[in-house]
Structure 1
């Protein structure tokens, strides 16, 4: 512990808003923080209990604290972020992957060019975005080139062409450079592309529908098929981007945590269209409270740079206590911009939040699967189970069904380098009593490991079963019949609270159940492989069930006769697209009301 006399220092500390700076014995700046009440905030670091490990590590290095009193908490917040940017203290959040965001740029000229753009907006033209990454921009540009055929080449190349280039030959450009399209028609394509980028694609879809019908009447079936494919592509993008009209610019934040870390996903919504997301994994946040973590992240995200795109709304999955102060600071830094900040939202905004949460959960699972993390967890598992060898390969089984229908067993494989997805297997279970998970597990294990008798197949070091003593007994019975004796069997159940971090474990040849601490790396590894097996089982089960039900379910929708089925197929282009459509998309079909759209959707998706 440092020789810093905290008690004496706190007696002299102001109760006004301000910024405090913590230094070590070598005069290196450790941490910069802001406070509404300096004395109360700094005092909280020197409590005798309730501090996180990171806070304890910080306090143990403190040799000196400086502070600056400010006139308001907003001023303190701005000063805090200025000093973090200047000094980059090791205990503050540092967004190392904080490049400027990419945009799509359409130039102002007789034949406008559409291209990728990053950095400040200096050129004359229209910018669309921001997009979360270059991949999202390239995918959007690829779609625009296919549908609208705008030129990609720079002005020097364009002005010196005497014949069409390869892009025209592969139908990605209308070749305005050699006058193969009139100026009026090209400008019309540009306007269509701009409407698409603004999220106003309904009128485009209507035009394509009319053109497709006219081509079919004229017996131009190849053109009609091409227009149909464009309709399907545009509607697929529209559904994926959750289009809810022509309004709505928002940054949607979701913070999720698991034992071992947390992630923040930012969902970018512009003109009602979800453009994509970006993920962060801050490791230098002192608080253990998710709402406080998100507050700290938002402060740095918007105030550490003055080049952010400020939307009309900021939506979070946790309530932010200092939201008014953050909005005031944004207004000062960004010349009067004042977005709304909310966490309790409904309708399409609630779906955006849920989408951001899903992205954050998946990103966190991927982040925790990295090699360095996994190696430490494998070592911890060896110690926790008291093994005399180092395990390298885990396999985990789970069972999924809907009231006994379409039962599927999953097997996932995890090594020290992460999931080995090429060795994942799913087993369609047949010939058992519906809903008998024990019989399903026994069948799947037998089919998976019977090849071990002939020396074929790979053997896991540890076999994890999602279930309790019953599933463990099934595994023992199967392995005894097969003569396999050198595989550690481990069952994991959710425990009485059914909360993550409170699982109950059952080890082979051990009649006593045991638990691991919620922050145990060994438990994190078990949870990781168990969650992956569950995800794979559910996905495989839904696929099997839908393949079984698809035709009969579509033909038997209450209130939908041949004419409405034809209208659905005509609008979406195929049965698969109808099955993938949302309620909002279904309601856009002629003759389909909102209530009928809901009836159709829930008939096609009875599990929801």
Structure 2
């Protein structure tokens, strides 16, 4: 059974149930998808004719299909997400940025420490984060250390060790950054009160520590301890300053995740905002490459699951800018807000994601432009041209044993192919395989036409060949009175030598030079373009000549068969019924008789 028939047989036995499906090639899983109806979804890959190129490539690679039935679309989504993470199929989108985001860790020990880390250890310590922005995390860490004197040493400050006097205070104590718990200079209860304040700040709740410092400031002032009151005032100001730098949206909005997506043909851009206690405490924007022709909803849904998992979000409300299928998020709602403060919050996320898309597209455009300018500058320098070669044309001739001589020209503008300017030429004035005269003809025809039409001339002409072809191109330009207006070079195939007019010695350009790479690319492109044209002419001529020699078969019938089947070999493979369907019973019999007589007279075959 053919592979395609085997797949169709598999599809016929797929269930009309929700679940996931897996596509395999010879090496393993290449795609995982979910569906409300597995059979309908899988069938669509093979029945639709309007798939993009990537999807067509996926379908061509499918060798086997497996499926798993689940109870609901939500279960299918969860299973799909897990399988994608486990197998990382080449046609599935998966955010793979390779980053390990940092945390702030409150250690599980007597007199806890606060320290940054990228590893979570199951030792009872409390981890806050992860933080997508390292600078923001360091600002928060600096704030806490300025507000609360915490130890930084790694001593084991057990009651027994402290009582035995095993440790001595360090420089941090003398600088006022630590209260000296190593020598028992601060009570554990007082130290833990500071730790509780730190927990509130790390959770995004600044109101508790602000109320604490305000109360301490007022009490110190009342006791006329003005210096102490001033120190509490400074800490309160520090918290206010930190809060002012945070993006405050609305105090009534708390514990919300906001996601927005904007896509172009190749990529999707996603922004994530995490809101706690009326302030944005985390923002992350990412770009993912499209694998197939996915919709925004198909891309955003798994990204929400993955980013919430990465940043350990427990938010029970998720705001998005596109309608999504039911997501398997426990005790959480997913909505597209239309009005109010939540809509404003979503619009802030959309503004961020649109900025990212515009920035990335602009960077790509600038990168391409800079790359193209650099290549043209290199060509100008290597060939000592007087102006930047923004418009380059390359010529090549093609013939087979002297038959059907043709030529081709490809045009590059700004170092990129301009296919609308490509041209084919039938050689009209040259008899037999004469590359030199053919080059003279096509160069003459090309630039006579441009002059007659008043079109702009190229800044560089390349001919595929050595000194002979180059000299004929120069002669053509001289006869058109264009010599001196268009620089022209020849590129020889064997050693990639560059020939310039009036110099018997070739120019050797560095093999790694972008100039030579572009010349080679143009030479290969014009060769491909010319060979394709020549082959189609040769095949047409061969078929027409052979079939029109058949008595009773006219040129119209020969042309009809040529257009549809392309070669005599394919026509010979047709059955009698197929031939009758194409040309009628009488002409089918003529063709069958001709083919059978032809086979009988071929060398090595017995003649009956």
Task: Give the TM-score of the pair, scaled to structure 1.
Answer: 0.51
Aligned-residue CA RMSD (Å): 4.3
Q: Quote the residue 1:509 is aligned against.
A: none
Is the Cα–Cα contact under 8 Å of residues 22 and 32 in structure 1 kept in the other structure? yes
Q: After the TM superposition, which residues 441-460 of structure 1 pair with which residues of structure 2 at under 5 Å, given as runs?
A: none
Equivalent position to 1:286, from 288, 292, 307: 292
Is the Cα–Cα contact under 8 Å of residues 18 and 35 in structure 1 kept in the other structure? yes
In structure 2, the gaps of 5 or more residues are 376-386, 392-608
Secondary structure at the counterpart of residue 253 of structure 1? strand
Does the alignment pair 1:199 with 2:204? yes
Secondary structure at the counterpart of residue 260 of structure 2? strand
Does the alignment pair 1:353 with 2:346? yes
Q: Quote the residue 1:262 is aligned against.
A: 268
Q: Quote the residue 1:317 is aligned against.
A: 320
Secondary structure at the counterpart of residue 93 of structure 1? coil
Equivalent position to 1:277, from 283, 293, 297: 283
Q: Are residues 185 and 11 of structure 1, via their aligned partners in 2, closer, same or farther at CA, if it must alter by over 3 Å? A: closer
Q: Are residues 216 and 351 of structure 1, via their aligned partners in 2, closer, same or farther at CA, if it must alter by over 3 Å? A: farther
Offset, 1:111: 2.1
Distance (whole Å) between structure 2 residues aligned to residue 351 and residue 257 of structure 1: 21
Offset, 1:21: 2.0
Is the Cα–Cα contact under 8 Å of residues 46 and 59 in structure 1 kept in the other structure? yes
Offset, 1:389: 4.4
Is the Cα–Cα contact under 8 Å of residues 111 and 157 in structure 2 kept in the other structure? no
Secondary structure at the counterpart of residue 142 of structure 1? helix
Q: Quote the residue 1:344 is aligned against.
A: 337
Q: Quote the residue 1:67 is aligned against.
A: 67
Q: After the TM superposition, which residues 48-63 of structure 1 pair with which residues of structure 2 at under 5 Å, given as runs?
A: 48=48, 50-63=50-63
Distance (whole Å) between structure 2 residues aligned to residue 246 and residue 178 of structure 1: 45
Q: Quote the residue 1:87 is aligned against.
A: 87
Equivalent position to 2:181, from 161, 169, 176: 176
Is the Cα–Cα contact under 8 Å of residues 252 and 278 in structure 2 kept in the other structure? yes
Secondary structure at the counterpart of residue 289 of structure 2? coil
Q: Quote the residue 2:20 is aligned against.
A: 19
Distance (whole Å) between structure 1 residues aligned to residue 28 and residue 208 of structure 2: 60
Distance (whole Å) between structure 1 residues aligned to residue 147 and residue 243 of structure 2: 14
Q: Are residues 363 and 157 of structure 1, via their aligned partners in 2, closer, same or farther at CA, if it must alter by over 3 Å? A: farther
Q: Are residues 66 and 381 of structure 1, via their aligned partners in 2, closer, same or farther at CA, if it must alter by over 3 Å? A: farther
Distance (whole Å) between structure 2 residues aligned to residue 377 and residue 166 of structure 1: 56
Secondary structure at the counterpart of residue 248 of structure 2? coil
Offset, 1:148: 1.5
Q: Quote the residue 1:230 is aligned against.
A: 235
1:255-304: CA deviations, max 9, x gaps? 223465321122234455533223332214434532332124235556xx
Q: Are residues 74 and 259 of structure 1, via their aligned partners in 2, closer, same or farther at CA, if it must alter by over 3 Å? A: closer
Secondary structure at the counterpart of residue 16 of structure 1? coil
Secondary structure at the counterpart of residue 155 of structure 1? coil
Q: Quote the residue 1:139 is aligned against.
A: 139
Distance (whole Å) between structure 2 residues aligned to residue 151 and residue 10 of structure 1: 66
Q: Are residues 56 and 199 of structure 1, via their aligned partners in 2, closer, same or farther at CA, if it must alter by over 3 Å? A: same
Distance (whole Å) between structure 2 residues aligned to residue 381 and residue 52 of structure 1: 32
Offset, 1:20: 1.8
Secondary structure at the counterpart of residue 139 of structure 2? helix
Q: Are residues 380 and 28 of structure 1, via their aligned partners in 2, closer, same or farther at CA, if it must alter by over 3 Å? A: farther
Offset, 1:146: 0.7
Which structure: larger Rg?
2
Q: Quote the residue 2:259 is aligned against.
A: 253
Is the Cα–Cα contact under 8 Å of residues 30 and 91 in structure 1 kept in the other structure? yes
Is the Cα–Cα contact under 8 Å of residues 294 and 318 in structure 1 kept in the other structure? no
Q: Are residues 255 and 86 of structure 1, via their aligned partners in 2, closer, same or farther at CA, if it must alter by over 3 Å? A: same
Q: Quote the residue 1:106 is aligned against.
A: 106
Offset, 1:32: 1.1
Is the Cα–Cα contact under 8 Å of residues 295 and 320 in structure 1 kept in the other structure? no
Q: Are residues 156 and 360 of structure 1, via their aligned partners in 2, closer, same or farther at CA, if it must alter by over 3 Å? A: farther
Q: Are residues 155 and 232 of structure 1, via their aligned partners in 2, closer, same or farther at CA, if it must alter by over 3 Å? A: same
Offset, 1:382: 11
Secondary structure at the counterpart of residue 271 of structure 2? strand
1:431-487: CA deviations, max 9, x gaps? xxxxxxxxxxxxxxxxxxxxxxxxxxxxxxxxxxxxxxxxxxxxxxxxxxxxxxxxx
Distance (whole Å) between structure 1 residues aligned to residue 373 and residue 9 of structure 2: 45
Offset, 1:44: 3.2
Q: Quote the residue 1:482 is aligned against.
A: none
Q: Quote the residue 1:463 is aligned against.
A: none
Q: Are residues 166 and 58 of structure 1, via their aligned partners in 2, closer, same or farther at CA, if it must alter by over 3 Å? A: farther
1:373-423: CA deviations, max 9, x gaps? 75335568999xxx95479xxxxxxxxxxxxxxxxxxxxxxxxxxxxxxxx
Equivalent position to 2:303, from 294, 297, 303: 297
Number of matched residues?
373
Is the Cα–Cα contact under 8 Å of residues 264 and 279 in structure 1 kept in the other structure? yes
Secondary structure at the counterpart of residue 151 of structure 1? coil
Secondary structure at the counterpart of residue 76 of structure 2? helix
Q: After the TM superposition, which residues 327-338 of structure 1 pair with which residues of structure 2 at under 5 Å, given as runs?
A: 327=328, 330=329, 337-338=330-331
Offset, 1:313: 2.0
Is the Cα–Cα contact under 8 Å of residues 146 and 171 in structure 1 kept in the other structure? no
Q: Quote the residue 1:376 is aligned against.
A: 368
Q: Are residues 108 and 70 of structure 1, via their aligned partners in 2, closer, same or farther at CA, if it must alter by over 3 Å? A: closer
Higher relative contact order by CA 8 Å / sep ≥ 6: 1 or 2? 1
Does the alignment pair 1:167 with 2:172? yes
Does the alignment pair 1:188 with 2:180? no
Secondary structure at the counterpart of residue 188 of structure 1? helix
Task: Give the TM-score of the pair, scaled to structure 2.
Answer: 0.51
Is the Cα–Cα contact under 8 Å of residues 290 and 318 in structure 1 kept in the other structure? no
Q: Quote the residue 2:505 is aligned against.
A: none
Distance (whole Å) between structure 1 residues aligned to residue 229 and residue 65 of structure 2: 73
Distance (whole Å) between structure 1 residues aligned to residue 272 and residue 152 of structure 2: 30
Distance (whole Å) between structure 1 residues aligned to residue 319 and residue 372 of structure 2: 35
Q: Quote the residue 2:500 is aligned against.
A: none
Distance (whole Å) between structure 1 residues aligned to residue 193 and residue 252 of structure 2: 20
Is the Cα–Cα contact under 8 Å of residues 249 and 279 in structure 2 kept in the other structure? yes
Is the Cα–Cα contact under 8 Å of residues 131 and 275 in structure 1 kept in the other structure? no
1:87-125: CA deviations, max 9, x gaps? 221111222236565433324544222223445562234
Q: After the TM superposition, which residues 470-549 of structure 1 pair with which residues of structure 2 at under 5 Å, given as runs?
A: none
Offset, 1:322: 1.4
Does the alignment pair 1:31 with 2:24? no
Q: Quote the residue 2:43 is aligned against.
A: 43
Q: Are residues 178 and 44 of structure 1, via their aligned partners in 2, closer, same or farther at CA, if it must alter by over 3 Å? A: same
Distance (whole Å) between structure 2 residues aligned to residue 151 and residue 243 of structure 1: 35
Offset, 1:189: 1.9
Offset, 1:154: 2.3
Distance (whole Å) between structure 2 residues aligned to residue 299 and residue 187 of structure 1: 36
